[in-house]
Amino acid sequence: MSSASDYLEDKLLDHVLNFGNGSLTVGSGRGYTPPATVYVALFADSGSGVAAALESNTSGTDTTAKFGYYEINNGSYARQAITFANAGAATTGTISSNATVSFPVATADYDTAGSSGNVVTHLALMDGNTTGADNVLFFGALTTNKTVSSGDQFTISSGNLSISLA
């Protein structure tokens, strides 16, 4: 996964290149304060709508232009916290998860506000845990889509979620 949202791209550029008139004092410019906890969110979409909504970081659930339309929202789904090893620990320019992330066992077939179905196709790293809201940090399509029906559990094994800046 290596796509950053427009929101994060702007924050990172401001943080690195426009921190504030040459001052490296926190709060003196437009530096970026990272979230205390990063969460994984799951999305279902058979087309390309979810990628555009995630990139634009448009929250809400009422139209296909908003990422919440595609986010799983039932079956005991809740965003889960994720942690990462130090960047470059295994590969330069890449950071990977360092703990297994297990979503609650589904109590119903997964679905979305837009009734996109129970096949998880995308995930995103978010700066909060409110379904259909908060800011998208990074997002991407799953290598293999995963159908989540009642009784199933979506799990990301340690080291299996990597972010690369290229």
Give the domain ranges of the chain. 35-164
Cβ neighbours, 10 Å, residue 4: 20
Residue 12 above 80 pLDDT? no
β-strand partners of 96: 162
Residue 131 above 90 pLDDT? yes
Report the b/e string of 122-140 with b at 16+ CB within 10 A. bbbbbbebebbebbbbbbb
Query: If pLDDT is split at 50, 70 and 90, which confidence band does 140 have?
Result: very high
Query: If pLDDT is split at 50, 70 and 90, which confidence band does 25 have?
Result: low
Q: What pLDDT score was predicted for residue 6?
A: 83
Residue 10: which H helix or E strand, with range?
helix 6-17
Q: What pLDDT score was predicted for residue 4?
A: 84
Q: What is the mean pLDDT of the chain?
A: 88
Rounded mean pLDDT, 95-118: 94
Residue predicted with more confidence, 86 or 100: 100
Tens-place pLDDT, residues 56-95: 999 999 999 999 999 999 999 999 999 999 887 667 788 8
β-strand partners of 123: 42, 140
The closest alpha carbon to 6, from 60, 67, 58, belongs to 58
Query: If pLDDT is split at 50, 70 and 90, which confidence band does 46 have?
Result: confident
User: How does strand 162-164 pair with strand 119-126?
Assistant: unpaired
State pTM to two decimals: 0.88
